[in-house]
Chains A and B, each alone.
Chain A
Amino acid sequence: MASFLLYINGEKRQVKVDGNTPLLWVLRDNLKLPGTKYGCGRGLCGACTVHVDGEATRSCITAIENVAGSNITTIEGLSKDSDHPVQIAWVAEDVPQCGYCQSGQIMTAAAFLDRNSNPEEDDINAAMKMNICRCGTYQRIRKAIGRAAKELQNGQ
């Protein structure tokens, strides 16, 4: 066990865990932030996606000792009132079905649009293909990302 200082959703948090503990379980078990989901444990499905210094990161395969000191954002911290353009677009397109993968989808989309707010369909496909949705909400995710991109461009 070792002590790690983390910056989560703009707050300083101290945890005492094994240094190899994946960020996912620190978020869920220690910090009581359950919005980030366990899907595969091997970085294959994207359900556990969070932002580490702005980059979409698979928290299930990211050891806590490697992100100490980094700025980490989870779905709970993406916006204060669910009003990030991606969340607004997600509501407008009524994207979620079961909802389990959606935190990861939204976090991946938000980081992607941050880099490319005028994406082509191929860009969206490439950015989102590491996030699985078994309910098959892909078509609405595409539409929502297009909608959020427009919002972001108008806002600039």
Chain B
Amino acid sequence: MLQKNYKMANRTVINRRDFIKVVSTTGAGLAIGFHLPFKNRVQAATLASNNTFKPNAWVTLYPDELVTITVSKSEMGQGVWTSLPMIIAEEMELDWTKVQIEQAPVDKERFGRQGTGGSYSIRGSWDKMRKAGAIGKDMLLNAGAHNWSVPKKECYAEKGFIFHQPSGKKLSYGDLSMKAATLDIPKEVALKDPSDFRIIGKELPRKDTPLKVNGSAQFAMDIDLPNMVYAFIVRCPIFGGKLKSINDTKAREIEGVLDVFAVENGVAIVGASTWAALRGRKALVITWDEGPNKNVDSKTIYEYLQKRGRKRGATGRRDGNAKRALNKADRVIEAVYELPFQAHATMEPMNCVVDVQSDLCRIWAPTQSPQQARKRASDITGLSINNVEVNVTFLGGGFGRRAFNDFIDDGLAVSKHMGRPVKLIWKREDDMRHDYYRPASRHVLRGGLTKNTNTTAWTHRVVAPSIIFGQMFKYPIPFKDKLDVVALEGAKDLPYEIPNIHVDYKSANTAVPIGWWRSVYHSQNAYANECFIDELAFAANMDPLQYRLQLLPDDSRNSNVLKLAAKKAGWDGSSPTGRYKGLSCHESFGSYVAQVAEVSIGKDNVVIVHRVVCVIDCGQTVNPSIVEAQMESSIVYGLSATLRGEITIEKGAVVQSNFHEFEVLRMDEMPEIDVHIIKSTATPGGVGEPGLPPVAPAVANAVFAATGIRVRKLPIKPEDLRS
């Protein structure tokens, strides 16, 4: 995702713009909302009701002691339904067992930015969630002190109670909630010292787990509305192709087929049931105008990247004079790495339920960009944004795919046309062939070494389509070598202390739609960096660990994760016969990760990954169990892209259609994953993505250790290992 420079507030002074008190006219409760500078009166009616104490948009306290914490980010498996509430519960001294979770309605005024991505939920909410909890606690403390007519400093909060220390009296949060509702918001609140944390840092079970083991967790596809129809959209398989004609005679003869019509993204087929729509779809005869991309294929794309890479790109980093240093070097090592397009292939294909009425539009969708969806629905339907309701359901995986709402456009178009609610489903084949793919890329690297193996120069040219300047946002292409800093993420931030570094970016846009894929360009740049540093280590005749360490500042977060990973993996010790280790480290999304992969080469040159040791320094850990799960998750996702699936293009279309062609890691290939988390109180880093970038280079470096072959193109195929 796009990274912004986010400055964490380090003071606890409350910003009037962020916290506005709202007293309801009935006196029944109190609400304080974030981002409510102008519309607080509207909010008073909606927030302060039912005798609840609602110290801010995220917390509602009920007299019966139950607490609802509202999560305004999308839960897509990464654990925000648990980790974000833990931060509030910590500062508010809540009884975690009384905390229930609800998904926030989509409302920018109340919740601020609700987009989910960039491993940013904890990082972007940490300070705000802590303050939200601390304000609630402070008001309850005041309520207790008032109630007993004692000084506030004699009171303390613990697990849902306010205690008066000298007398030993206590009152529950529920008992104090109405009193607290009448008090002023504190101007300043103290945040807890991390050494006093009793919730943050604990392996608390996920709040969504019980719903996800009995089928009751609700995904958008599970929504069932009265009078609802079922629809699919057939898209032109060739990117940029357009509809020429539809022959729907046969389709309309099928029982249950209700309608066939053209929409912006293709042809809609609507049925009274999913099966009727699917049968109708099969009977459709559609002729496409194949458009300008019908001859595009993977081969020509790679050739194009190669051609573009011959010329200098836009400079992203320049330290010293790399060109001169390479000329003066005793040895110049050069390598080119190539990576393919990758599909997200979330387990839940794209889908939504949409009900467009004359005065209201309701959407249920697994989206990472709900506010964008709301705005878009308003534009498409002509309804005011206040008449568009977006319900974010659980997401059956996101990985960046669901930052795009093209599937909601489909639902809107069909419901508007039919005048009925619609369940719009993408077949797996639609999902795989109409993704916003991780861009293919080419990386040209050169390194300069002196006779006594000093590393004097490093150059890295990234040649790739640009997400931010690409066709996706309809910017004119080609732009002239504009610097795409996102495409250089992880490349320009090379951590190694080499005196002469030059990193540049050469754009190479293609017809293939591209987007954010878990860890985005870090996934490609880390592969190039960490494979090439291994190549330099070999050229310098040094151990890959020692070589890296001598180029990293002592005691840096990178060197610390590397050292611990090496220790835990037994880097210096021997491996079981036939097994070889490879190493890598990479910083992304504010976290530092090192991995050691242990591989062997099996029958028919198949790479078997036996074990991955993973060390992460993500600063303050909120929930170690979730961090561990995210490391496992990223490693599995990364291994799929290292060893299995890739998206290839033929005749302007994606070749792969389903999981038999786009293979992903399965249980029988699952290595043992051993995660270690560095204890830290540093500002939290992200955890959803940083575990992914190091895995491909760790495996490739282990394959080199095993075979002496450098695999410079992913995924690693058995034929690459035939000597």
Judge: A and B partners, yes or no: yes
| A interface, CB within 8 angstroms of B | 1, 17-18, 20-22, 25, 28-30, 32-42, 44-45, 47, 74-76, 78-79, 82, 87, 90-91, 94-103, 106, 124-126, 128-142
Select one of A25, A74, A79, A95 contacting B273, CB under 8 A: A25
Best-buried of B212, B348, B668 by chain A (most CB within 10 Å): B212
Q: Is B158 an interface residue (CB 8 A)?
A: no
Chain B residues near A41 (CB, 8 Å)?
Answer: 427-428, 658
In the complex, B13 has a CB within 8 A of chain A: no
User: How far apart sit A28 and B219, CA to CA, in the bound complex (Å)?
Assistant: 12
A138 to B218, CA, bound (A): 22
Known: A98-B76, A134-B345. A42 touches B428 (CB 8 A): yes
Most buried by B among A28, A78, A97, A133: A97
How would residues 196 to 218 of chain B score, 1 for a CB under 8 Å from any chain A CB and 0 otherwise?
00000000011011111111111
Q: Choose from A44, A129, A134 the contact partner of B346 (Cβ within 8 Å).
A: A134
SS of B interface (majority):
loop
Q: Determine how close the nearest CB of chain B comes to the CB of A103; give it in whole angstroms.
A: 5
Q: Is B172 an interface residue (CB 8 A)?
A: no
Could you tell me which B residues sit within 8 Å of A by CB distance? 76-79, 205-206, 208-219, 221-222, 224, 230, 255-256, 273-276, 279, 345-349, 394-399, 425, 427-428, 625, 629, 632-637, 658-660, 664-668, 670, 672-673
Shortest 9 CB-CB contacts between residues of A and residues of B: A35-B215, A136-B636, A100-B396, A98-B77, A99-B212, A97-B77, A75-B215, A34-B222, A96-B212
CA distance A136 to B274 in the complex (A): 29
15 contacts across the A-B interface (CB closer than 8 A): A18-B279, A22-B275, A45-B428, A91-B209, A94-B206, A96-B208, A98-B76, A101-B347, A101-B396, A128-B666, A134-B347, A134-B397, A135-B77, A135-B637, A138-B670
Residues of A with C-beta under 8 A to B218: 34
Is B345's CB under 8 angstroms from A99's CB?
no
**Among B209, B222, B634, residue most surrounded by chain A Cβ atoms (within 10 Å):** B209
Measured between beta carbons, the chain A residues less than 8 angstroms from B214 are: 35, 75-76, 78-79, 82, 87
**18 extra interchain contacts, Cβ-Cβ under 8 A, other than A21-B275, A96-B208, A134-B345?**
A18-B275, A21-B273, A28-B222, A34-B222, A38-B221, A39-B348, A45-B347, A76-B214, A102-B213, A106-B213, A125-B668, A128-B666, A129-B666, A131-B667, A133-B347, A138-B666, A140-B632, A142-B670
A21 to B577: give the CA distance in the assembly, Å: 52
- Identify the closest chain B residue to A136 (Cβ): B636
Q: Which chain A positions have C-beta within 8 A of B395? A: 98
Select A139's contact among B210, B396, B670, beta carbons within 8 Å.
B670
Q: Is the CB of B396 within 8 A of A99?
A: yes
In the bound assembly, the distance between CA atoms of A131 and B658 in angstroms comes to 14
Interchain CB contact under 8 A, B213 and A96: yes
Check A125–B275 contact: CB distance below 8 A: no
Residues of A contacting B672 in the complex (Cβ-Cβ under 8 angstroms): 139
Which residues of A have CB within 8 Å of B216?
A: 35, 76
Chain A residues with CB below 8 A from B394, complex form = 98-100
